[in-house]
Amino acid sequence: MKLGYIGLGNMGGALARRLLRQHKMRVYDLKPENMAKLADKGGAASQNPRALAAECDMVMTCLPTSKEVHDAIFGLDGIAAGMKRGGIIADMTTGDPNATRAMAKELAAKGITLIDAPVSGGPHGADAGTIAIMVGAPDDVYAKMKPVFTVISPNIFHCGDVGTGQVMKLVNNVVTASIRTITFEAVTMGVKNGLSFKACAEVLAKSSGRSYTTEVTLPRIASGNAAASFTLGLMHKDVRLATELGVASGSPMLVAGLVREMYQTAINEHGADGDVNLMIRLFERQSKVKVAP
């Protein structure tokens, strides 16, 4: 199977690097410097998504939102203009499941299959080969794609038909965004009341309040290396998409609504491109205490 990868930022770049261990691939990103980083690993730069798709049986995308995915597929020189009938697009973006389902329907009329396969575990999880891949696809397409995803990680989950991988990813990110927020708030209170940041991190990681935030994020912040390689803007997008699904389906998301607005507040202070862990600065300012190194 001839593979291609579009979207080589923090996440897509790490996933493509992993795949390049076993497959040579065509690659494309709006930023030439992101393509250049993969040149010596076997990533052959394409001129545009159309040219890439003309050379591939299967194209993966990892772009900021479903809007960029739509552009890359249906835009001038997009994938749909180059891909042959029978081709498969696997979208690894944390996207809007309803937008993905609509694009899949449109592509089916051209004989192209679109499935969703978002990931969780960050660029370091991709590098380590431990990242979770949540696939929304018909059974036969899942069976075809599984050997490719296995090169990235053994942690592959078939969630159901197209769109369900992205629904699952939104469930995950609403949980992780909320836990990160309440953990930062509680640790701030702890430090203001005499605990050290290090003690909070160590004890939480071994207690009932433990989570990805306590096991991975707090130790990183404690070591002075806070960057998560994930932006406030992308996290806000995920919580917003989850709450939109809640509204559309009549499933109230009261806590998620509050968390979404906290991320908006952090974006207004630090910008959408600010690292997600800058959220801790909000609590520091509100409590007038220095918490994180």
Residue 68 as a binder of ligand NAD (CB under 6 A): the answer is yes
> Which member of 84, 146, 169, 237 is catalytic?
169
Residue 69 Cβ, how far from ligand NAD at the closest point, in Å?
Answer: 8
Which two structure tokens, joined as six digits, stand for 191?
Answer: 């430090």
Residue 118, both tokens: 């978002």
Burial class of residue 189, CB neighbours in 10 A (0-12, 13-18, 19+): middle
Residue among 71 and 269 whose Cβ is closer to ligand NAD: 71
Is-contact 281 270, C-beta < 8 A? yes
Task: Reply yes or no on whether 169 is catalytic.
Answer: yes
Least CB distance from residue 35 to ligand NAD, whole Å? 9
HEC per residue, 226-282: CCCCCEHHHHHHHHHHHHHHHHHHCCCCHHHHHHHHHHHHHHHHHCCCCEHHHHHHH
Residues numbered 191-230 forming contacts with ligand NAD, rule: CB under 6 A: 229-230
End-to-end CA distance of the chain: 48
* Separation CA 101–CA 99 (nearest Å): 5
Mask: binding to ligand NAD, 24-63, rule CB under 6 A, as x and -?
A: -----xxx--x---------------------------xx
* 123 counts as binding ligand NAD under rule CB under 6 A: yes
In this chain, which of 6, 27, 99, 241 binds ligand NAD, going by CB under 6 A?
6
Residue of this chain nearest to ligand NAD (CB atom): 9
- Considering only residues 245 to 284 of the shown chain, the ones binding ligand NAD according to CB under 6 A are none
Q: How many angstroms separate the CA atoms of 257 and 246, rounded?
A: 10
Q: Which residues sit at the interface with ligand NAD, rule CB under 6 A?
A: 6-12, 29-31, 34, 62-64, 68, 71-72, 93-94, 119-120, 122-123, 229-230, 234
